[in-house]
A and B are shown apart, each in its own frame.
Chain A
Amino acid sequence: DAKTTQPNSMESNEEEPVHLPCNHSTISGTDYIHWYRQLPSQGPEYVIHGLTSNVNNRMASLAIAEDRKSSTLILHRATLRDAAVYYCILRANLGGKLIFGQGTELSVKP
């Protein structure tokens, strides 16, 4: 699986939008971009995934660059509960394992 690069940490204010970047310059044409997050003392939870087009769901939006070498996870209004480590992961097929990097630790200030 191709490698991703994320900032180690980011800060946000409550109720403001948050843009979490991910670089994946070696992405292949069949790699899906997945985002998971891990809240303190919990297992990871799925956030969103996409291939080429931007995606929206109830949790977040995923903006994918036209050349697919980078993507951005967008939390539209951060809450204190969004404080977590966010992982950007590339995976070539539905069934494969997830290879987690170090992720971005997001802190949200009231």
Chain B
Amino acid sequence: GAGVSQSPSNKVTEKGKDVELRCDPISGHTALYWYRQSLGQGLEFLIYFQGNSAPDKSGLPSDRFSAERTGGSVSTLTIQRTQQEDSAVYLCASKRASLNEQFFGPGTRLTVL
């Protein structure tokens, strides 16, 4: 079946612009996660949605970052007033509530000039 999909695959933007990154999780997966991986750095947790519960936003680096998940499915990560340090690969993952395995998408490579 279809895996986690993310769009766009690549995004180049200018410093100060807002960007939106989209994640389509696997159908039936109630948990959705956002991570990012900066060049040469490890993977960093950003935010986690589980069903109708309040999201775990503990990993968001600043108030310029926000995310929403509409209808318990698609999620959008928004970065306002982008900075060069926001350049990274942004990864989305989804999971069935009762299982351990997170399924990752291919990521969106964001470059802020």
Docked pose: A94 CA to B105 CA in angstroms: 19
Chain B residue with Cβ nearest A99: B45
Q: Are A98 and B102 in contact (CB under 8 A)?
A: yes
Docked pose: A99 CA to B106 CA in angstroms: 19
CB distance from B95 to the nearest CB of A (A): 8
Q: A43-B104, A43-B106 are in contact. Are A94 and B98 (CB under 8 A)?
A: yes
Q: Total interface residues on B, using CB and 8 Å? A: 26
Q: Are B99 and A43 in contact (CB under 8 A)?
A: no
Q: A32-B100, A43-B107, A46-B102 are in contact. Are A100 and B43 (CB under 8 A)?
A: yes
Q: Are B42 and A97 in contact (CB under 8 A)?
A: no
A64-101 CB mask vs B (1 if < 8 Å, else 0) is 00000000000000000000000100000011111111
CB distance from A86 to the nearest CB of B (A): 13
Docked pose: A43 CA to B33 CA in angstroms: 13
A-B contact count (CB 8 A): 54
Q: Is A34 an interface residue (CB 8 A)?
A: yes
A100 partner residues in chain B, CB cutoff 8 A: 35, 42-45
Docked pose: A29 CA to B74 CA in angstroms: 35
A27-54 CB mask vs B (1 if < 8 Å, else 0) is 0000010101010001111100100000
Q: Are B103 and A95 in contact (CB under 8 A)?
A: no
B81-106 CB mask vs A (1 if < 8 Å, else 0) is 00000000001010101111111111
CB distance from A63 to the nearest CB of B (A): 18
A38 partner residues in chain B, CB cutoff 8 A: 43
Additional A-B contact list (4), CB under 8 Å, known A43-B107, A100-B43: A43-B105, A49-B101, A96-B48, A100-B45
16 A-B pairs, CB-CB below 8 angstroms?
A34-B100, A43-B93, A43-B104, A44-B91, A44-B102, A46-B103, A49-B101, A87-B43, A94-B99, A95-B50, A96-B48, A97-B45, A98-B43, A98-B45, A100-B42, A101-B42
Residues in chain B within 8 A of chain A (CB atoms): 4, 31, 33, 35, 42-45, 48, 50, 56, 59, 91, 93, 95, 97-107
